[in-house]
Amino acid sequence: MSEKILEVKNLKTSFYTHLGEVQAVRGISFSLNKGEVMGIVGESGSGKSVTSLSIMKLLQYPGEIKSGDIFFKGEDIVNKKNKEMLNIRGNEIAMIFQDPMTSLNPVYTIGDQIMEVIIRHQGLSKKKAKEKAIDMLRLVGIPSPEERVSNYPYEFSGGMRQRAMAAIALSCEPDLLIADEPTTALDVTIQDQILKLMKDLKEKLDTSIILITHDLGVVADICTKIVVMYGGLVMEEGTSKDIFYNPKHPYTMGLLKSIPRLDLGEKKRLIPITGTPPDLIKPPKGCPFTARCPYAMKICSLHAPKYTKIDENHKAMCWLLHKQSPNMKMDTGVKRGIVNE
Protein backbone atom coordinates (compact mmCIF):
# COMPACT_ATOMS: atom_id res chain seq x y z
CA MET A 1 0.00 0.00 0.00
CA SER A 2 1.21 3.42 -0.79
CA GLU A 3 2.01 6.01 1.80
CA LYS A 4 -0.80 8.10 3.24
CA ILE A 5 0.03 11.76 2.99
CA LEU A 6 -3.09 13.25 4.45
CA GLU A 7 -5.74 11.81 6.69
CA VAL A 8 -8.74 13.77 7.89
CA LYS A 9 -10.75 12.19 10.67
CA ASN A 10 -14.18 13.38 11.72
CA LEU A 11 -13.35 17.03 11.07
CA LYS A 12 -15.88 19.56 12.31
CA THR A 13 -15.49 23.25 11.54
CA SER A 14 -17.89 25.97 12.63
CA PHE A 15 -18.25 29.70 12.29
CA TYR A 16 -19.56 31.43 15.36
CA THR A 17 -21.59 34.31 13.96
CA HIS A 18 -24.07 36.58 15.71
CA LEU A 19 -26.87 34.59 14.09
CA GLY A 20 -25.64 31.37 15.64
CA GLU A 21 -23.15 28.64 14.95
CA VAL A 22 -22.80 27.92 11.25
CA GLN A 23 -21.74 24.30 11.06
CA ALA A 24 -19.95 24.47 7.75
CA VAL A 25 -18.21 21.11 8.05
CA ARG A 26 -20.00 18.58 10.20
CA GLY A 27 -17.73 15.58 10.59
CA ILE A 28 -15.92 14.49 7.46
CA SER A 29 -13.23 11.88 6.99
CA PHE A 30 -11.07 11.00 4.02
CA SER A 31 -7.50 10.14 3.24
CA LEU A 32 -5.12 10.84 0.42
CA ASN A 33 -2.19 8.75 -0.75
CA LYS A 34 1.05 10.05 -2.13
CA GLY A 35 0.82 11.04 -5.76
CA GLU A 36 -2.94 10.78 -5.80
CA VAL A 37 -5.27 13.44 -7.23
CA MET A 38 -8.46 13.76 -5.27
CA GLY A 39 -11.44 15.85 -6.29
CA ILE A 40 -13.88 17.40 -3.85
CA VAL A 41 -17.15 18.19 -5.60
CA GLY A 42 -20.14 20.05 -4.24
CA GLU A 43 -22.14 23.20 -4.67
CA SER A 44 -21.50 26.47 -2.89
CA GLY A 45 -22.12 26.14 0.82
CA SER A 46 -21.36 22.42 0.88
CA GLY A 47 -18.25 23.01 2.95
CA LYS A 48 -15.59 22.15 0.40
CA SER A 49 -13.63 25.38 0.67
CA VAL A 50 -13.88 25.38 4.46
CA THR A 51 -12.40 21.88 4.43
CA SER A 52 -9.38 23.12 2.50
CA LEU A 53 -8.95 26.15 4.74
CA SER A 54 -9.12 23.86 7.77
CA ILE A 55 -6.33 21.71 6.37
CA MET A 56 -4.24 24.81 5.73
CA LYS A 57 -5.26 26.18 9.14
CA LEU A 58 -6.13 29.43 7.46
CA LEU A 59 -9.54 29.81 9.06
CA GLN A 60 -10.19 33.28 10.26
CA TYR A 61 -12.27 34.50 13.13
CA PRO A 62 -15.10 33.58 13.76
CA GLY A 63 -14.29 30.21 12.22
CA GLU A 64 -12.54 27.45 14.09
CA ILE A 65 -11.93 23.73 14.00
CA LYS A 66 -14.33 22.33 16.57
CA SER A 67 -13.10 18.78 16.72
CA GLY A 68 -11.45 16.09 14.67
CA ASP A 69 -7.94 15.30 13.53
CA ILE A 70 -5.92 16.17 10.48
CA PHE A 71 -2.81 14.04 10.01
CA PHE A 72 -0.31 15.33 7.53
CA LYS A 73 2.52 12.85 6.92
CA GLY A 74 1.49 11.14 10.15
CA GLU A 75 1.62 14.29 12.26
CA ASP A 76 -1.47 15.85 13.75
CA ILE A 77 -1.60 19.46 12.60
CA VAL A 78 -4.81 20.53 14.31
CA ASN A 79 -2.95 21.45 17.49
CA LYS A 80 0.09 22.91 15.79
CA LYS A 81 0.87 26.50 16.69
CA ASN A 82 0.77 29.16 14.04
CA LYS A 83 4.58 29.44 14.17
CA GLU A 84 4.95 25.78 13.31
CA MET A 85 2.33 26.08 10.59
CA LEU A 86 4.37 28.83 8.95
CA ASN A 87 7.03 26.26 8.15
CA ILE A 88 4.52 23.85 6.69
CA ARG A 89 2.36 26.27 4.75
CA GLY A 90 3.82 27.13 1.39
CA ASN A 91 6.60 24.64 1.95
CA GLU A 92 4.96 21.27 2.41
CA ILE A 93 1.33 22.15 1.77
CA ALA A 94 0.60 24.82 -0.81
CA MET A 95 -2.59 26.26 -2.09
CA ILE A 96 -3.90 27.79 -5.28
CA PHE A 97 -6.87 30.04 -4.68
CA GLN A 98 -9.95 30.53 -6.75
CA ASP A 99 -9.70 34.10 -7.84
CA PRO A 100 -6.39 35.01 -9.48
CA MET A 101 -7.50 38.64 -9.66
CA THR A 102 -7.60 39.18 -5.91
CA SER A 103 -5.19 36.64 -4.47
CA LEU A 104 -2.00 38.27 -5.69
CA ASN A 105 -0.67 41.38 -3.99
CA PRO A 106 -1.01 44.26 -6.47
CA VAL A 107 1.89 46.33 -5.09
CA TYR A 108 4.60 43.67 -5.38
CA THR A 109 5.98 42.27 -8.62
CA ILE A 110 5.21 38.70 -9.59
CA GLY A 111 8.89 37.89 -9.04
CA ASP A 112 8.87 39.33 -5.51
CA GLN A 113 5.89 37.21 -4.62
CA ILE A 114 7.49 34.00 -5.85
CA MET A 115 10.83 34.91 -4.25
CA GLU A 116 9.17 35.55 -0.89
CA VAL A 117 8.25 31.88 -0.58
CA ILE A 118 11.63 30.66 -1.77
CA ILE A 119 13.61 32.92 0.55
CA ARG A 120 11.38 32.12 3.53
CA HIS A 121 11.47 28.36 3.17
CA GLN A 122 14.69 27.54 1.37
CA GLY A 123 16.87 30.36 2.64
CA LEU A 124 18.33 31.12 -0.76
CA SER A 125 20.01 34.43 -1.47
CA LYS A 126 18.02 37.07 -3.31
CA LYS A 127 19.93 36.52 -6.52
CA LYS A 128 19.51 32.73 -6.43
CA ALA A 129 15.85 33.12 -5.51
CA LYS A 130 15.27 35.32 -8.51
CA GLU A 131 16.85 32.72 -10.79
CA LYS A 132 14.60 30.11 -9.26
CA ALA A 133 11.57 32.37 -9.68
CA ILE A 134 12.39 32.69 -13.39
CA ASP A 135 12.73 28.93 -13.66
CA MET A 136 9.36 28.48 -11.99
CA LEU A 137 7.68 30.92 -14.36
CA ARG A 138 9.21 29.01 -17.25
CA LEU A 139 7.95 25.74 -15.78
CA VAL A 140 4.38 27.00 -15.65
CA GLY A 141 4.63 28.18 -19.23
CA ILE A 142 4.93 31.96 -19.05
CA PRO A 143 6.64 33.28 -22.19
CA SER A 144 9.87 35.32 -21.77
CA PRO A 145 10.03 34.81 -17.97
CA GLU A 146 13.20 36.92 -17.63
CA GLU A 147 11.18 40.03 -18.39
CA ARG A 148 7.91 38.90 -16.93
CA VAL A 149 9.44 38.32 -13.51
CA SER A 150 9.51 42.05 -12.84
CA ASN A 151 5.93 42.67 -13.98
CA TYR A 152 3.15 43.57 -11.59
CA PRO A 153 0.00 41.45 -11.38
CA TYR A 154 -2.06 43.99 -13.33
CA GLU A 155 0.17 43.40 -16.31
CA PHE A 156 -0.81 39.73 -16.36
CA SER A 157 -4.04 38.33 -17.78
CA GLY A 158 -6.29 36.04 -15.74
CA GLY A 159 -4.78 32.83 -17.05
CA MET A 160 -1.25 34.10 -16.54
CA ARG A 161 -2.02 35.16 -12.98
CA GLN A 162 -3.33 31.70 -12.24
CA ARG A 163 -0.08 30.32 -13.67
CA ALA A 164 1.86 32.72 -11.46
CA MET A 165 -0.16 31.44 -8.48
CA ALA A 166 0.80 27.91 -9.46
CA ALA A 167 4.44 29.00 -9.67
CA ILE A 168 4.27 30.38 -6.12
CA ALA A 169 2.52 27.25 -4.85
CA LEU A 170 4.96 24.88 -6.50
CA SER A 171 8.20 26.76 -5.93
CA CYS A 172 9.06 24.76 -2.79
CA GLU A 173 7.96 21.47 -4.30
CA PRO A 174 5.19 20.83 -1.80
CA ASP A 175 4.03 17.31 -0.97
CA LEU A 176 0.44 18.40 -1.10
CA LEU A 177 -1.17 20.97 -3.35
CA ILE A 178 -4.67 22.20 -2.63
CA ALA A 179 -6.34 23.88 -5.59
CA ASP A 180 -9.57 25.60 -4.64
CA GLU A 181 -11.61 26.11 -7.81
CA PRO A 182 -8.44 26.99 -9.74
CA THR A 183 -10.22 27.33 -13.07
CA THR A 184 -13.67 28.63 -12.19
CA ALA A 185 -12.87 32.23 -13.06
CA LEU A 186 -11.19 31.32 -16.34
CA ASP A 187 -12.26 30.68 -19.91
CA VAL A 188 -12.54 27.09 -21.11
CA THR A 189 -9.47 27.37 -23.28
CA ILE A 190 -7.39 28.74 -20.40
CA GLN A 191 -8.96 26.20 -18.05
CA ASP A 192 -7.76 23.49 -20.40
CA GLN A 193 -4.23 24.93 -20.28
CA ILE A 194 -4.20 25.11 -16.47
CA LEU A 195 -5.52 21.56 -16.06
CA LYS A 196 -2.87 20.27 -18.46
CA LEU A 197 -0.28 22.16 -16.47
CA MET A 198 -1.43 20.56 -13.23
CA LYS A 199 -1.30 17.12 -14.82
CA ASP A 200 2.23 17.73 -16.10
CA LEU A 201 3.43 19.08 -12.76
CA LYS A 202 1.96 16.09 -10.96
CA GLU A 203 3.91 13.77 -13.20
CA LYS A 204 7.12 15.77 -12.93
CA LEU A 205 7.10 16.45 -9.20
CA ASP A 206 4.85 13.62 -7.93
CA THR A 207 2.78 16.08 -5.91
CA SER A 208 -0.46 14.94 -4.31
CA ILE A 209 -3.31 17.21 -5.31
CA ILE A 210 -6.69 18.04 -3.83
CA LEU A 211 -8.81 19.69 -6.48
CA ILE A 212 -11.89 21.47 -5.26
CA THR A 213 -14.51 22.26 -7.87
CA HIS A 214 -18.19 22.24 -8.69
CA ASP A 215 -17.55 21.13 -12.26
CA LEU A 216 -17.85 17.39 -12.71
CA GLY A 217 -16.17 17.69 -16.09
CA VAL A 218 -12.98 18.97 -14.50
CA VAL A 219 -12.70 16.15 -11.96
CA ALA A 220 -13.45 13.47 -14.55
CA ASP A 221 -10.33 14.45 -16.38
CA ILE A 222 -7.60 14.39 -13.77
CA CYS A 223 -8.88 12.91 -10.51
CA THR A 224 -8.43 9.33 -9.51
CA LYS A 225 -10.58 9.66 -6.44
CA ILE A 226 -13.67 11.81 -5.86
CA VAL A 227 -15.41 12.99 -2.71
CA VAL A 228 -18.92 14.39 -3.10
CA MET A 229 -19.87 16.87 -0.38
CA TYR A 230 -23.24 18.26 0.57
CA GLY A 231 -24.42 20.18 3.62
CA GLY A 232 -21.05 19.85 5.35
CA LEU A 233 -20.91 16.07 5.00
CA VAL A 234 -19.35 13.60 2.60
CA MET A 235 -22.24 12.04 0.72
CA GLU A 236 -20.27 9.64 -1.40
CA GLU A 237 -16.65 8.75 -1.95
CA GLY A 238 -15.11 6.56 -4.59
CA THR A 239 -12.83 6.27 -7.58
CA SER A 240 -13.81 8.47 -10.50
CA LYS A 241 -15.27 5.44 -12.28
CA ASP A 242 -17.39 4.62 -9.21
CA ILE A 243 -18.79 8.12 -9.09
CA PHE A 244 -19.47 8.51 -12.79
CA TYR A 245 -20.56 4.99 -13.71
CA ASN A 246 -21.95 3.57 -10.49
CA PRO A 247 -23.22 6.41 -8.32
CA LYS A 248 -25.03 5.25 -5.21
CA HIS A 249 -26.18 8.48 -3.64
CA PRO A 250 -29.21 10.36 -5.04
CA TYR A 251 -27.29 13.64 -4.79
CA THR A 252 -24.48 12.34 -6.99
CA MET A 253 -27.11 11.08 -9.43
CA GLY A 254 -28.80 14.47 -9.35
CA LEU A 255 -25.54 16.22 -10.19
CA LEU A 256 -24.93 13.88 -13.11
CA LYS A 257 -28.44 14.44 -14.42
CA SER A 258 -28.36 18.21 -14.24
CA ILE A 259 -25.44 18.76 -16.61
CA PRO A 260 -25.90 18.66 -20.38
CA ARG A 261 -23.63 16.24 -22.20
CA LEU A 262 -21.89 17.68 -25.17
CA ASP A 263 -20.49 14.50 -26.59
CA LEU A 264 -23.64 12.42 -26.67
CA GLY A 265 -25.45 14.38 -29.35
CA GLU A 266 -28.78 14.19 -27.56
CA LYS A 267 -30.91 17.11 -26.55
CA LYS A 268 -33.04 16.03 -23.65
CA ARG A 269 -34.59 18.21 -21.04
CA LEU A 270 -32.31 18.67 -18.05
CA ILE A 271 -33.42 17.24 -14.75
CA PRO A 272 -32.57 19.79 -12.07
CA ILE A 273 -32.27 19.12 -8.38
CA THR A 274 -35.27 21.00 -6.99
CA GLY A 275 -35.02 23.31 -3.99
CA THR A 276 -31.97 24.87 -2.41
CA PRO A 277 -29.22 23.66 -0.05
CA PRO A 278 -29.93 23.49 3.70
CA ASP A 279 -29.27 26.26 6.18
CA LEU A 280 -26.23 25.18 8.16
CA ILE A 281 -27.12 27.25 11.21
CA LYS A 282 -29.90 24.78 11.83
CA PRO A 283 -28.77 21.75 9.86
CA PRO A 284 -31.49 19.13 9.36
CA LYS A 285 -31.48 16.31 11.87
CA GLY A 286 -31.40 13.52 9.36
CA CYS A 287 -29.74 13.38 5.98
CA PRO A 288 -29.12 16.96 4.73
CA PHE A 289 -30.32 16.05 1.25
CA THR A 290 -33.78 14.86 2.40
CA ALA A 291 -35.63 18.02 1.36
CA ARG A 292 -34.38 17.80 -2.22
CA CYS A 293 -34.19 14.02 -2.60
CA PRO A 294 -36.74 12.41 -4.93
CA TYR A 295 -36.46 9.11 -3.05
CA ALA A 296 -36.67 10.47 0.51
CA MET A 297 -38.33 8.22 3.09
CA LYS A 298 -39.61 8.95 6.54
CA ILE A 299 -36.45 7.79 8.25
CA CYS A 300 -34.29 10.16 6.17
CA SER A 301 -35.54 13.24 7.99
CA LEU A 302 -35.25 11.63 11.41
CA HIS A 303 -31.84 10.00 11.50
CA ALA A 304 -28.69 10.59 9.56
CA PRO A 305 -27.69 7.44 7.68
CA LYS A 306 -24.36 5.69 8.27
CA TYR A 307 -21.86 4.98 5.53
CA THR A 308 -22.43 1.84 3.53
CA LYS A 309 -19.37 0.28 1.96
CA ILE A 310 -19.98 -0.72 -1.60
CA ASP A 311 -16.46 -1.94 -2.13
CA GLU A 312 -12.91 -1.24 -0.99
CA ASN A 313 -12.82 2.38 -2.14
CA HIS A 314 -16.46 3.22 -2.63
CA LYS A 315 -18.81 4.31 0.14
CA ALA A 316 -22.00 6.34 0.36
CA MET A 317 -24.20 7.78 3.07
CA CYS A 318 -27.80 6.92 2.22
CA TRP A 319 -30.64 4.98 3.80
CA LEU A 320 -31.49 3.44 0.45
CA LEU A 321 -28.36 1.33 0.74
CA HIS A 322 -29.56 -0.15 4.04
CA LYS A 323 -30.44 -3.82 3.97
CA GLN A 324 -34.05 -3.20 4.98
CA SER A 325 -34.73 -0.34 2.59
CA PRO A 326 -37.25 -0.86 -0.20
CA ASN A 327 -35.78 -1.80 -3.53
CA MET A 328 -36.30 1.29 -5.62
CA LYS A 329 -35.84 1.70 -9.32
CA MET A 330 -33.64 4.74 -9.76
CA ASP A 331 -32.52 6.73 -12.73
CA THR A 332 -28.85 7.02 -11.88
CA GLY A 333 -28.14 9.67 -14.46
CA VAL A 334 -25.24 7.67 -15.84
CA LYS A 335 -24.67 8.29 -19.51
CA ARG A 336 -21.69 6.60 -21.03
CA GLY A 337 -20.01 8.09 -24.01
CA ILE A 338 -18.77 5.91 -26.82
CA VAL A 339 -15.08 5.24 -26.57
CA ASN A 340 -13.32 4.34 -29.77
CA GLU A 341 -10.59 1.92 -28.90
Binding site for another protein (CB under 8 A): 43-44, 157-160, 187-193, 195-196, 214-218, 220-221, 240-241, 244-245, 254-263, 265, 267, 269-274, 276, 335-340
Give the shortest CB-239-to-another protein separation in angstroms. 9
Closest to 114 measured CA to CA, from 82, 151, 86, 157: 151
CB closer to another protein, 149 vs 253: 253
Nearer to another protein, 20 or 217 (CB): 217
CA distances (Å), 185 to each of 110, 181, 195, in order? 20, 8, 13
Q: Is 160 in contact with 98 (CB distance < 8 Å)? A: no
Taking the complex as a whole, the smallest distance from the CB of residue 258 to another protein amounts, in Å, to 4
Cβ 202 to another protein shortest distance, Å: 15
| Minimum CB–partner distance for residue 82 and another protein (Å) | 33
Q: How far is the CB of 275 from another protein (least distance, A)?
A: 9
Nearest residue to 227 (alpha-carbon basis) of 48, 56, 27 = 48
Closer to another protein by Cβ: residue 19 or 270:
270
263 vs 312, beta carbon nearer another protein: 263
Cβ closer to another protein: 107 or 262?
A: 262
Phi, psi of 309 (to 5 degrees): -85, 125
**What b-and-e string marks burial along 136-147, b requiring 16 or more CB atoms within 10 Å of the CB?**
bbbbbbbeebee
Among 71, 92, 91, residue whose Cα is nearest residue 29: 71
CA distances from 272 to 208, 240, 255, 256, 292 (A): 33, 22, 8, 10, 10
Q: How far is the CB of 50 from another protein (least distance, A)?
A: 16
C-alpha atoms less than 13 angstroms from C-alpha of 90 in its C-beta half-sphere: 17
Choose between 191 and 207: whose C-beta lies nearer to another protein: 191
